[in-house]
Structure 1
Amino acid sequence: MWPAVQLGFVSRSSVGTMPLTQRVTERNLGVPQSYASFAVPLGAVTKMDGCAAIYPAIAAIFVAQFYGIDLTITQYLLIVFVSVIGSAATAGTTGATVMLTLTLSTLGLPLAGVGLLLAVEPIIDMGRTALNVAGQALVPTIVAKREGLLDEDAYNAPRESVVD
């Protein structure tokens, strides 16, 4: 997975990394092309754990603490709800400012909190995108293994970081 994770890290785009992610999933991880060609693009457009689930949730809690606002259990449940829905609905492009803004406005937190995080946004986005790309290959690999579709010889083959 390393070539796809590296490209996701530097490009900050899950969708831009999708062709390499699919190739690595097929050739290096042993997922059949017929399944990978369905699962990787589906994951690239719906599986945004880093950008839409983890980051907005943590950032919302940070903003609340920064402004001295105590969150209620209802607000924490709203964070979970918005994160789960957002993870499936966020575009695979750079940045998660839209999801962060949505999360903050849903909770009634100051939108000025977005400005606090914009300075570190590109650096954090690199890690989030790498997480998304890794997950977009991991899930098809796990499903292929459980369904008996995985080419274990390809999966276990020694290789370098180069994808042919």
Structure 2
Amino acid sequence: MGWLVALALLLVPIVEIYVIIQVGQVIGGWPTVALLIVESALGAWLIKREGRRAWAALQASFETGKMPGRELADGALVLIGGTLLLTPGFVTDIFGFFFVLPFTRPLARRALTAFLGRRVTHLSTNGLGGLGGNLGGLGGPTFGPTSGPRPNDTPGPRSPADNVVQGEVIDPDK
């Protein structure tokens, strides 16, 4: 996944420069700069408006005690879209508007939900990011090899005494 981010950081500026040059050759240099400025200003206004809406929806879900899944996804999409809109370029602006506009954001939210669902499933079946792990086992996640018995592990039911951690309590007021 890290290589994908590195590749994107390398390719996106190259693509943006190419598209800006192509647009500049068609409509001229100054109109291209003006168009980029207008897109940034429109994007800033839209981010402010949609950011306030997303924040108000998140607060309302907290007040009603509703799980804020959709609201959190909308907030994340507005944040990502805003970052893309404030970055100069036409390609990033297209994706930024797709994430921020209220009528295209549900499509982006579905894509984000599907991606995160696949990622969580992948992590839970393959361990915690390659660290190994047993997310559903007794005692919570384990780190390291997941096959075979753990050291000092006895078969059978565990007692509450197995969860005791030896130590001492230090009173910071003394």
Q: TM-score, normalised by structure 1?
A: 0.30
Which structure's residues are more often helix, by fraction?
Answer: 1
Q: TM-score, normalised by structure 2?
A: 0.28
